[in-house]
Amino acid sequence: MGRVPDDVVNQLREGSPIEDVIGEYIPLRKAGSTFKALCPFHDEKTPSFNVNPRMGIFKCFGCGVGGDAIKFLMQHEGLNFREALQNLANRQGVDLSRYETEDGETSLPSVREKIHEVNLFAARYYWVSLRGGEGSRALSYIKRRDISADAVEAFRIGYAPARWDALCQAARQKGYSPQDMVEAGLAIQREDGSGFYDRFRDRVMFPILGADGAIVGFGGRSLPDSDARHATAKYINSPDTPAFRKGRVLYGFSQGRETIRSKKRAVVTEGYFDVIALWQSGIQNAVAPLGTALTAEHLRTLRAHAEELIFVFDSDQAGQAASERAGGMAGRILGLAGAPDQLVAGEVLRENYIDRRGLGAIRLKVMDLPRGQDVDDVLKAGGADSVRRLLGEAEGLLEHTVRKAIEGVAPGADQSEKLSAVQNLMPVLGASHQSVRDQYFSLLEDRLGIPYPALAESVRRMLAEEAREPTCRVEPAADLLGRSVDRPRLEVDAVRMLLVRPDLAGGAEVDPSIFADPAVREIVAAIIEAGGEDIHPAGLAERLTDPSARALVLDLAAGETPADDLEGEFSDCMARIQEKVRRRREEKLIKEIEDVSRSEGNDSPAVRRLLEEKNALLRERQKTSSAQ
């Protein structure tokens, strides 16, 4: 890592307000002197993620992740330290390039940057290939799919030629090694070790962009008349690489983010073509997962920008199952906390609210496509307006899944058939608020004649099974070590004030040794060592060796910040700490005097010395109490 001097790091840290940096990824809500949010690093229903703008610190009191803006970018975007610094430098127009060349090894770009670069090269190659002679079949396929020239441009669609090593050869000429190509997921080594071949051949290529617009991977669609040797599957994606995790990236998100933010709504479709078709018809807030189910990470990304998610699914069975899965998961992640108060039983079916406890409700809806049609068919038949109308008519997720389940029950079905037909409702209902669940149970009892207790038992069983499944958690941060420790309140208060006003440590001539808590002692010593200069809590934490001391600094910095005029409060706090120290010493002396008198006699020199010490302590205490 090119060593960037501490003062430049500090300058970058201070140059971008932390609430702006984090606010780009998750919605923050002002609460006193801090901001609160749902933690992007673990699933939660009540916000325990704090951002303190004054201190430049974030901290999740749920999972323990915390630090400065640099740390946030590292954790949230998966960047290394250098990349996170670069991100801040880009925002501030600071040039870091001269630091890169200071030591040889670190002038190399990171693995991720290298993959971005190789991918960019590949995207250009595919782009040119689409327009060359080899690309004519692909070009006419794209035209047949009614993809406009604008969309081809905006989504940087290209073509991978129908040869075994077209890209590998072009890469070699550009100076990229086969290893570079393998690392980016673009080439595969032959099993006999005799060379490398292109992963994508004879395919329409869709570059996949990360949140920052870099090309992180590709999706490739075979042509209808593709040679079977090249077209092994209709769709293939880049494998996961250090730059690309399928479970995290959404196709179209980079292009649609601004629209999603302004409309506060995202349309979740099933594939590249849906996203593109909607985009070119003016519906530019569509995204698609990449050949996987929607993951918790996808949903966290979306909930950060949207208040309403509309899932678009084909009317076939697979799409149906997908919507139920999505619903169950969304419910769990977002905290499906209930319907609006005033709804009566029949009306609950109309809306699904997920109350984000003070962060605004998020609605989950399902747009049903007409049977046998896909998004493209609807667009062709009725244009964007017909899609808009269907989006407008989208049903609440609960309403949708319950309706489908009821429709799925054949007339004359017996009780066990009915029960199995409503089984796939259980994840959604299990994630719902008890009162919502009750109303649906009544409805199912009413319509299908399934007794309420049987339904309740199904949900109970499902929830019990789920509780046994290990849930994915952020690895416990070292920060957590300090959380259970019971620290002296006064000492913690002193640190909290010193973080805002480090100069007070000098003024009050604080001696760290008077603090009983070792973590507090180390923090105060570090503050004094910095000579009262304003030190960023993240920088301060880095100087500490005790992990629980580091955690304490972040905890305090992320919480409410005390007002600036702290002189009186601080000296009061210190006086009380001093008083405690004196009292402890006094108690210890009294005990010692008792012990020594017993063994050496009341009038021994040792006892007299101890008594003298105790009197000195008493005089000191009288002096300070009369001075106050």
- The distance of closest approach from Cβ of residue 333 to Zn ion in the complex, given in angstroms and rounded to an integer, is 13
| Side chain identity at residue 461, one-letter code | R
Report the residue number, 42 or 400, with the smaller CB distance to Zn ion: 42
- The distance of closest approach from Cβ of residue 507 to Zn ion in the complex, given in angstroms and rounded to an integer, is 37
| Side chain identity at residue 181, one-letter code | M
Report the residue number, 42 or 76, with the smaller CB distance to Zn ion: 42
Number of residues that bind Zn ion (CB under 5 A): 6
- Of 22-30, 62-70, 197-205, 489-497, the window that binds Zn ion (rule: CB under 5 A) is 62-70
**Measuring CA to CA, which residue among 571, 561, 400 is closest to residue 55?**
561
> Which secondary structure element, helix H or strand E, spans residue 570, and what is its range?
helix 567-600
> What is the C-alpha to C-alpha distance for residues 287 and 279, in angstroms, rounded to an integer?
10
Report the residue number, 94 or 480, with the smaller CB distance to Zn ion: 480
- The distance of closest approach from Cβ of residue 448 to Zn ion in the complex, given in angstroms and rounded to an integer, is 41
> What is the C-alpha to C-alpha distance for residues 580 and 567, in angstroms, rounded to an integer?
20
In contact, 198 and 166? CB cutoff 8 Å: yes
What's the Cα-to-Cα distance from 3 to each of 100, 110, 179, 398, 535, rounded to whole Å?
A: 7, 14, 28, 54, 20
- The distance of closest approach from Cβ of residue 50 to Zn ion in the complex, given in angstroms and rounded to an integer, is 10
> What is the C-alpha to C-alpha distance for residues 443 and 337, in angstroms, rounded to an integer?
19
- Of 63-71, 263-271, 391-399, 490-498, the window that binds Zn ion (rule: CB under 5 A) is 63-71
- The distance of closest approach from Cβ of residue 43 to Zn ion in the complex, given in angstroms and rounded to an integer, is 9
- The distance of closest approach from Cβ of residue 70 to Zn ion in the complex, given in angstroms and rounded to an integer, is 18
- x/- track of binding to Zn ion for residues 271-300 (CB under 5 A): ------------------------------
The encoded tokens of residue 583 equal: 């009292």
CA–chain centroid gap for 448, Å, is 41
Report the residue number, 293 or 472, with the smaller CB distance to Zn ion: 472
Report the residue number, 66 or 537, with the smaller CB distance to Zn ion: 66
Report the residue number, 65 or 157, with the smaller CB distance to Zn ion: 65
- The distance of closest approach from Cβ of residue 61 to Zn ion in the complex, given in angstroms and rounded to an integer, is 8
Is residue 550 involved in binding Zn ion (CB under 5 A)? no
Residues 298 to 317: which contact Zn ion by CB under 5 A? none
Is residue 62 involved in binding Zn ion (CB under 5 A)? yes
Alpha-carbon Rg of the chain, whole angstroms?
Answer: 32
- Of 56-64, 142-150, 181-189, 479-487, the window that binds Zn ion (rule: CB under 5 A) is 56-64
Residues 606 to 625: which contact Zn ion by CB under 5 A? none
Output DSSP code: residue 50: E
Determine the 3-state secondary structure of 194 from DSSP. coil
Instruction: Give the Cα-Cα-Cα angle 297, 289, 431 (nearest 5 degrees).
Output: 50
Report the residue number, 42 or 303, with the smaller CB distance to Zn ion: 42
Report the residue number, 26 or 405, with the smaller CB distance to Zn ion: 26
- The distance of closest approach from Cβ of residue 41 to Zn ion in the complex, given in angstroms and rounded to an integer, is 5
**Measuring CA to CA, which residue among 539, 548, 542 is closest to residue 519?**
548
Report the residue number, 40 or 207, with the smaller CB distance to Zn ion: 40
**How many CB atoms sit inside 10 A of residue 368's CB?**
20
In contact, 236 and 196? CB cutoff 8 Å: no
- The distance of closest approach from Cβ of residue 64 to Zn ion in the complex, given in angstroms and rounded to an integer, is 7
- Of 15-23, 58-66, 291-299, 592-600, the window that binds Zn ion (rule: CB under 5 A) is 58-66
What is the β-pairing status of strands 265-268 and 308-313?
A: parallel
> What is the C-alpha to C-alpha distance for residues 487 and 164, in angstroms, rounded to an integer?
66
Report the residue number, 75 or 323, with the smaller CB distance to Zn ion: 75
Report the residue number, 67 or 185, with the smaller CB distance to Zn ion: 67
What is the β-pairing status of strands 265-268 and 286-289?
A: parallel
Residues 6+ apart with CB under 8 A from 504: 497, 498, 510, 566, 567, 570
- The distance of closest approach from Cβ of residue 579 to Zn ion in the complex, given in angstroms and rounded to an integer, is 39
Residue 209 forms beta bridges with which residues? 215
Is residue 60 involved in binding Zn ion (CB under 5 A)? yes
- Of 61-69, 332-340, 464-472, 507-515, the window that binds Zn ion (rule: CB under 5 A) is 61-69
- The distance of closest approach from Cβ of residue 65 to Zn ion in the complex, given in angstroms and rounded to an integer, is 6
In contact, 259 and 285? CB cutoff 8 Å: yes
Residues 21 to 50: which contact Zn ion by CB under 5 A? 39, 41-42
What is the contact surface with Zn ion in residues (CB under 5 A)?
39, 41-42, 60, 62-63
